[in-house]
């Protein structure tokens, strides 16, 4: 079992701290890296890939710095950036075989693996299509396929479901769930549902810091007793939105059903409800100080 350690990683830009003394350890399993846009998730993934050098700290694999491992580390790595590069006039087949050659896969193995990836990502039958003729969702699936070509032991995915429709998102989540038993998978996203049913642990990032590193159940338990529902008028709802963190608002006839975070019962008649992971994420980010 591999052990990827992130130790006291910091990265600063002129007016922003993208990573602020981050430390955690990843072993086999699926990890969700949750945070709003601009939280520093992409910077952290680029550091884990070795694309970006931290100002301070180190990343080690089984005790060896990835900087010292060089190409040996990259052979273990699969990476899907938010905007991955491709040649629009390449066909799907040519693109995947080209990437396989860059990953140093032997030709015979590459021919087998690219077909496996087409089937896994639902692109069978599209081999001869030029990439410029694919839909946004299909291009995203192609990106997932190229990240998996070399059967990586460390898989880093940055906003992998961007552009996918609901059916494709479910397909993607099923793929990720099947991969985590024998490798490290880190999935960065700002969409809670992407990791709700796939991640073994969730890291919540905000302002360059890791605020939480816990299981989904533990995060939900922490928010228990702090989520309330009540029905109110539109006029009173505006007041509530100024007083509380609102998790959800739903129209019911001429009234609104509101779901809010509060340490105590906000109003007579409000009912405490069981939190879901979205409630827990809001509780962690809106109602607790950054560690």
28 falls in which pLDDT band (50, 70, 90)? very high
- Nearest partner of 243 among 266, 225, 265, judged by Cα: 266
Q: Are 59 and 169 part of one and the same domain? A: yes
Percentage of the chain modeled with pLDDT above 70: 98
Does residue 62 share a domain with residue 192? yes
> What digits encode the pLDDT tens for the residues 41-86?
999 999 999 999 999 999 999 999 999 998 899 889 999 998 888 8
101 and 13 inside one domain: no
Q: Which residues of 89-114 are buried (b: 16+ CB within 10 A; e: fewer)?
A: ebbbbbbbbebbeebebeeeebeebb
Mark whether 18 and 70 lie in a shared domain: yes
d(CA 168, CA 282): 26
**pLDDT tens-digit map of 111-161:** 999 999 999 888 999 999 999 999 888 888 899 899 999 999 999 999 888
Q: From 214, 236, 257, give the residue that closes a domain.
A: 214
Residue 197 inside a domain? The answer is: yes
Asked if residue 287 belongs to a domain, the reply is no
Distance CA(113)–CA(93), nearest Å, equals: 11
Do residues 121 and 157 lie in contact, with contact meaning Cβ atoms separated by under 8 Å? no
**Statement to judge: residues 98 and 240 lie in one domain:** no
Whether 285 is covered by a domain: the verdict is no
- Residues 244 and 158 both lie in one domain: no
Same domain, 179 and 58: yes
Residue 288 has pLDDT above 60, yes or no: no
Considering only CA atoms, which of 145, 130, 178, 132 is closest in space to residue 79?
145
Tell me, yes or no, whether 50 and 182 share the same domain: yes
Quote the percentage of the chain above a pLDDT of 90. Answer: 68
Q: Tell the burial category of 231 from Cβ atoms under 10 Å away from its Cβ (0-12, 13-18, 19+).
A: middle
Number of domains in the chain: 3
- Do 103 and 240 lie in one domain? The reply is no
122 found inside a domain: yes
Whether 163 maps to a domain, the answer reads yes
Q: Within a domain: residue 251?
A: yes
Domain range for 13 is: 1-76+152-214
Q: Is 132 a member of any domain?
A: yes
Pair (206, 122) in one structural domain = no
Last residue of some domain: 134, 150, 166?
150
Map 219-245 to HEC letters: HHHHHCCCEEEEEECHHHHHHHHHHCE
The residue written with tokens 């998730």 in the block is 41
> Kindly report the CA angle at 11 between 29 and 61, in degrees rounded to 5?
35
Same domain, yes or no: 105 and 230: no
The tokens describing 189, both together, are 């996203």
Sorting pLDDT into bands at 50, 70 and 90, what band is 290?
very low
User: Is the separation of the CB atoms in 187 and 35 below 8 Å?
Assistant: no
In a domain, 116, yes or no: yes
Q: What is the pLDDT of residues 177-209, one digit of tens each?
A: 878 778 999 999 988 988 988 899 999 999 999
Q: Are residues 146 and 156 in the same domain?
A: no
In this predicted structure, the answer to whether residue 287 has a pLDDT above a threshold of 60 is no
pTM, two decimal places:
0.89
Q: Where do the H-state alpha helices sit in the chain?
A: 41-49, 66-69, 71-74, 92-102, 107-120, 136-148, 166-179, 193-196, 216-223, 234-243, 277-286
Among 133, 150, 167, the domain boundary falls at 150
């Amino acid at each position: 079992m591999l052990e990827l350690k992130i130790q006291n990683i910091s990265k600063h830009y002129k007016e922003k701290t993208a990573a602020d003394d981050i430390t955690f350890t990843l072993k086999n399993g699926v990890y969700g890296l949750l945070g709003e846009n601009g939280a520093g998730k992409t910077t952290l993934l680029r550091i884990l890939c070795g694309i970006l050098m931290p100002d301070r700290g180190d990343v080690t694999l089984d005790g060896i710095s990835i900087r010292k491992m060089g190409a040996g580390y990259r052979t273990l790595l699969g990476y899907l950036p938010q905007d991955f590069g491709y040649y629009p006039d390449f066909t799907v087949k040519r693109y995947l075989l080209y990437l396989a050659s860059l990953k140093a896969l032997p030709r015979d193995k590459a021919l087998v693996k690219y077909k496996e990836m087409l089937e896994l990502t639902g692109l069978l039958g599209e081999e001869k299509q030029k990439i410029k003729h694919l839909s946004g969702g299909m291009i995203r699936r192609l990106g997932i396929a190229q990240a998996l070509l070399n059967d990586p032991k460390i898989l880093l995915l940055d906003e992998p479901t961007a552009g996918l429709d609901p059916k494709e998102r479910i397909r993607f989540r099923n793929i990720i769930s099947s991969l985590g038993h024998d490798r490290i998978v880190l999935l960065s996203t700002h969409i809670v549902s992407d990791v709700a049913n796939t991640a073994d642990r969730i890291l919540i990032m905000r302002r360059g810091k890791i605020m939480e590193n816990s299981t989904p159940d533990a995060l939900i338990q922490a928010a228990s007793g702090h989520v309330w529902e009540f029905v109110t008028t539109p006029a009173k709802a505006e007041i509530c939105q100024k007083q509380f963190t609102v998790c959800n608002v739903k129209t019911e006839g001429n009234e609104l059903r509101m779901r809010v975070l509060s340490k105590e019962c906000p109003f007579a008649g409000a009912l405490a409800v069981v939190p879901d992971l979205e409630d827990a994420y809001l509780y962690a980010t809106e109602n607790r100080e950054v560690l």
